[in-house]
Amino acid sequence: MTETLRPRLGTRGSPLALWQTEQVALRLKQQLPGCEPQICVIKTQGDRILDLPLAQIGDKGLFTQELETALLQNEIDLAVHSLKDLPTELPPGLALGAILERHSPHDVLVSQGHLQLEDLPAGALVGTGSQRRRTQLMQARPDLVFQDLRGNIQTRLNKLDRGDYAAIVMAQAALDRLQMSHRISQVLPFALMLPAVGQGAIGIEISEARADLKTVLSALHDLPTGLACSAERAFLRALGGGCQTPLGAYALFSAESPEQLLLYGYLSSEDGAHFWRDRIEGPATEPEALGRQLAERMKAQAGPLFH
């Protein structure tokens, strides 16, 4: 029980990651009187290598592997992640202990002059490190020029402000959480930009052996978010779970049938020249089956172009 009252929370060191971890610490304190969480900052490969595009260094576990190693070696008790960074296949011995209530999953445009996407001048330079964002923007505005952009939220905003880019694309949840919502020029609709799997949600990873933490975290888990993200993660897993193929997904409960989940999927060739969008609806009690079904359907649509 002592370990439960003084849990060590592993996190990356960015302002956003620390904000997320402080939220988890606060909820643990509310759940367990006398709980004093300890925050342990761990630098990941994705934090160290900032001079290469994500696609070149591989995105599987890029922001999570060191945290998972610390969990396996009992150096921390919990690892707090942006769920979109967490691979769909966890290392043996680790489990997803809870997913907190999701914030907005939207992507947003942040631009000089507060311009919206349709108002950016032809040939404008847009910064993003995400193939998913790049290909979807290409399909909406093929005249734009894209350049890789890495670094934490403030670093990316600083590069925009000094004129390196006409616009950059970010997650709305990140800007909202850091009280920078005023920087948003446009919230990109899902019809234009489907988000990364799990975007806007915080995931807490633990050792499977920690029954004490499983009990505590069950009270922090948000069931609707968990079901939606399970469908999205199953979709990603069935398509290769962290491959370089640009893809996005978003699941939500049907307004007409509250017990049904709607899952939207996006899949593109790496150059953005070919892309597919589809949706599926099914019982919210079977989110993983729903994700797999949509993935198989879209793979069939893509045929030999998908690899």
pLDDT at 304: 77
In the prediction, which pLDDT does 174 show? 96
**pLDDT at residue 177 tops 50:** yes
pLDDT at 43 over 80: no
Q: Give me the mean pLDDT over the 106-132 stretch.
A: 97
pLDDT in tens, 221-267: 999 999 999 999 999 999 986 556 899 999 999 888 889 999 999 99
Instruction: Give the residue-averaged pLDDT of 22-33.
Output: 95
pTM of the model: 0.92
- pLDDT 10s digits, 93-107: 999 999 999 999 999
Catalytic residue among 85, 119, 222, 271: 85
Does the active-site annotation cover 85? yes
DSSP string, the chain: -HHHHS-EEEE-SSHHHHHHHHHHHHHHHHHSTT---EEEE---HHHH--SS-HHHH--TTTTTHHHHHHHHTTS-SEEEEEGGGS-SSPPTTEEEEEEPPP----EEEEEGGG--GGGSPTT-EEE-S-HHHHHHHHHH-TT-EEE---S-HHHHHHHHHTTS-SEEEEEHHHHHHTT-GGG-SEEPPTTT-PPPTTTT-EEEEEETT-HHHHHHHHTT--HHHHHHHHHHHHHHHHTTSS-SS-EEEEEEE-SS-TTEEEEEEEEE-TTSSSEEEEEEEEETT-HHHHHHHHHHHHHHHHGGG--
All structural domains of the chain: 2-100+201-221 (3.40.190.10), 107-187 (3.40.190.10), 234-302 (3.30.160.40)
